[in-house]
Structure 1
C-alpha cells in the first residue's frame, strides 16, 4: 500500500501537507496544530482541545444562546471556515481572548460557527467572508450586533 493511501485512510483525507501535527481527542475531533512548534504553543493546543474556552455553536445553539441571550449577556462570535488560513491563525488568539474575557466577566461568552458545516445558516446571517467576528452586546445596550 502506498504511503499516501495509508495517510488518507488514517487521517480521513484531512492531512494536506507534511509535517502536520494534530491532536485526536476521545470525542472524535481532530485539533490541527497551526504555527510554530514550541513547547508552550503545543501545551496551549492541548489545553484548548481539552478545556475549550470558545463554544462551538450549531445553528440551533446560536439561536438559543446568542439570539436568546439574557439582557446582561454579551457574545463574541467567530464565523469561520476550517480551510481558511486567517481563520486558523485567529483560532488560538480567540481562545486566549475567550479565557481572558471569561476571567474578566462570566456574562461575556465567545463562540464560533463553522460556515463550511453550516453554510446555509452563515448565508442567512449575512456572512460573506472569513473570518467574520461579530459582537452581540447585552440587550440593554443600544446596539444589538456589531461586525468586525
Structure 2
C-alpha cells in the first residue's frame, strides 16, 4: 500500500510517496500524483517532509531516509551515482556515465535522470550539460536553478 501526502514548500506544492518502508516517489509542483495511493501522512512522510523543508531552508545538506526507487539495474546505478555527488557540486552526464562504467552512455544517463522518481532526495538537479548549461528537469529549469543556487549559497 502506498501513502502520499502533500506539503507546501518554497518551490511549490510537493507530494511525497512511501510504501510502508521507504520513500518511493516525489512529485514536484504541477505533476499528477497516482490515483491508487492513499492520502495519509505517516511518520516516514512527516520525517521526509521535515528533512526536505530543512534542506530548502539551507539547514541540511543530505538526507537520512530509506529510499526505494523502482527502476532498471542501469537506472539504479545512475541514481546511486547521483547520491554521491557532493552538495553544492555538479557533474555532467558524461561524468556520471563514466562513474557507472558506461562512458559512452551519456544519453542513457540523461534518460535515467529523467526517470528519477525521487527528485531532490536523489539529486538529479546536480547533473548538467557538458557545456555547463542546465538541461531538463521534471520540476522545470527554474526549480533546478533554484536548487543549484541554494546549494551554492547564491
The TM-score with structure 2 as length reference comes to 0.29
Q: Which has the higher contact order (CA 8 A, sep 6+)?
A: 1
User: Which structure would you say has the larger Rg?
Assistant: 1
